[in-house]
Amino acid sequence: MARTARAPRPTSSCEALSVRWSRHGEGYAALEVLEVDEAPSRAWSFVWPARVMVQARSAGVRFRAGRQRGELALGSVLVIDGPSAHVVLHTDRGASFRVVFGRPEGTAPGAALEVRTARVVDLDVDLDPVRIDERARDALRTVGPAPRRLDARLARACQHIAQTLTEELRLEDLAAIAGVHRCHLCRVFAQHLGLSPLRFRAHVRVARARALLAAGADCISVAHEVGYCDQSHFNRSFREITGTTPGAYARVVRIACETGSARWLSAA
């Protein structure tokens, strides 16, 4: 019988939400997969230091990646290359989708931010994540034009955030590094990334925490390494972004590594 790790039940505002994580493949080359069924009407934001693939498993899944916007048809996969892939999804109530996270290749979130051309590929809705990744790589080889670099000021700010996760973040200091006024900095973050500077840092922290947990680090040391002063704050932030707790996520990853097969984590 497959072993399943369960996260605590979600709050009343998300009781119908079903969130499942799995890991496909072995070791460093493994893919992580997030599946969301019966989503509420809301926005989702994903920041990851490698390739990200989003597949619509129902109607009602819209995306924004850089300046590209659109709605995904059933089965279609949005492919965004790394490093530092970022996408914002908007779901209608009851919509379902899955996100396949490619494995980082020695990069860190914010290390080389670029506006990548998002490709939409039509695939079978039941295609396994490994095949989705293979098709995504094939699609990216035909992208053509080189990606456009982000505004240098925003890139400097993102680099600073990624390199100073354990330090206090003051918007005034970040604006000075970027060379813009604080209010303008927040507008640029919202325009290009769909996140405030503080929310972007939370996503970068959790992305790095996931990599550390997958490598076998314990939750307490990971919390401090990515800049959280206490475990409860780390737990809240991790669950808000991933739909589960660091401990439950680490258990599923460990089970998958020990057995060499996918294991699911349900937050519903």
The reported pLDDT for the residue numbered 155 is 83
How does strand 18-24 pair with strand 31-37?
A: antiparallel
pLDDT in tens, 127-149: 888 888 888 878 777 755 444 55
The reported pLDDT for the residue numbered 243 is 80
3-state SS string for 108-151: CCCCCCEECCCEEEECCCCCCHHHHHHHHHHHHCCCCCCCEECC
Q: Say which CATH topology domain 5-266 has.
A: Arc Repressor Mutant, subunit A (1.10.10)
pLDDT in tens, 154-200: 888 988 998 999 999 999 999 999 999 999 999 888 877 778 999 98
The reported pLDDT for the residue numbered 45 is 84
Reading across the β-sheet that carries 97-101, which strands appear in turn? 5-6, 265-266, 18-24, 31-37, 97-101, 52-56, 76-80, 119-122
Whole-number CA gyration radius for the chain:
18
Residues of the chain with pLDDT below 70 are 1-17, 26-29, 82-84, 104-118, 143-150, 254-268
Peptide bond into 104 cis (omega under 30): no
The span from the CA of 154 to the CA of 135, in Å, is 31
Smallest Cα–Cα separation from 196: which of 131, 74, 204, 149?
Answer: 204
- pTM for the model stands at 0.69
Domain range annotation of the chain? 5-266
